[in-house]
């Protein structure tokens, strides 16, 4: 068998688990207080490689330049090669690792809650747009629900095991909604909806 051939080159910056982000906490907090960062969008979870699953790529491209994407999981492969730049030296994509590293995103959110002196994560300028593809994403979703996070967008496909009764509970108690039209979702994300 012939050796593999290189098909692309470049660099992807990663390694933004909670310890690294918390080391930059002062810089991040100042960027939020000054208005340089308007919103954090957690785009984590699992996504497939089907060409028609472009939702997260399009969201990343359409988010305003004053937003930071916090990610963990394979959904990031939809946008981590995009040149999204940085905000005052803070990369616009903070990649904590794989799905198992979603813990770091929760730690960051809880730390921001403390730093900004709010009682509830839902008061922070953070939106949650979670990719659903396989069962591992259930752990990410359950962790967010246990923290009381509301308004999570979930998709592009919904879990097949969600019965109408479970969906009703999630919508009523946690305001979970499916992902929709990219432009409308980005607009709602920036309004904190």
Kindly tell me the burial class for residue 38, based on how many C-beta atoms sit within 10 Å of its own C-beta (0-12, 13-18, 19 or more). Answer: middle
Residues 190 and 38 sit within 8 Å (Cβ to Cβ)? yes
**Is pLDDT above 70 for 182?**
yes
Check whether 62 has a pLDDT greater than 90.
yes
For the four alpha carbons of 51, 177, 103 and 28, in that order, the dihedral sign comes to: positive
Q: Given this model, what pLDDT does residue 140 score?
A: 76
- Kindly list the domain boundaries of the chain, sorted by start residue: 18-190
The pTM for the full model equals: 0.85
Cis? peptide before 156, omega within 30° of 0: yes
> How many C-beta neighbours within 10 Å does residue 177 have?
16
Average pLDDT over residues 163-175: 90
Using CA atoms, how far apart are residues 68 and 79, in angstroms rounded to an integer? 13
Per-residue pLDDT reduced to its tens digit, 117-153: 899 999 999 999 888 766 667 777 888 888 899 999 9
The CATH number of 18-190 is which of 3.20.20.70, 3.40.50.2300, 3.10.450.50, 3.40.50.2030?
3.40.50.2030
pLDDT given for residue 142 in this prediction: 83
Q: Give the tens place of pLDDT for each residue, 89-120.
A: 888 988 887 777 778 888 888 888 888 889 99
């Amino acid at each position: 068998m012939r050796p593999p051939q290189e098909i692309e080159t470049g660099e992807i910056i990663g390694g933004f688990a909670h310890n690294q982000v918390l080391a930059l906490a002062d810089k991040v907090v100042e960027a939020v207080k000054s208005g340089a960062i308007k919103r954090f969008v957690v785009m984590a979870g699992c996504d497939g490689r089907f060409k028609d699953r472009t939702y997260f790529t399009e969201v990343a491209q359409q988010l305003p330049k004053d937003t930071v994407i916090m990610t963990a999981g394979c959904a990031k492969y939809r946008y981590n090669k995009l040149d999204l730049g940085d905000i005052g030296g803070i990369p616009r994509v903070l990649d904590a690792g794989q799905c198992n590293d979603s813990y770091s995103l929760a730690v960051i959110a809880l730390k921001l809650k403390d730093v900004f002196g709010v009682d509830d994560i839902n008061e922070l300028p953070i939106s949650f747009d979670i990719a659903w593809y396989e069962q591992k994403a259930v752990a990410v979703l359950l962790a967010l629900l246990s923290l009381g996070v509301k308004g999570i967008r979930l998709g592009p496909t919904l879990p097949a095991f969600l019965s109408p009764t479970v969906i009703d509970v999630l919508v009523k108690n946690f305001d979970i909604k499916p992902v929709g039209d990219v432009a409308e979702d980005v607009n709602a994300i920036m309004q904190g909806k």
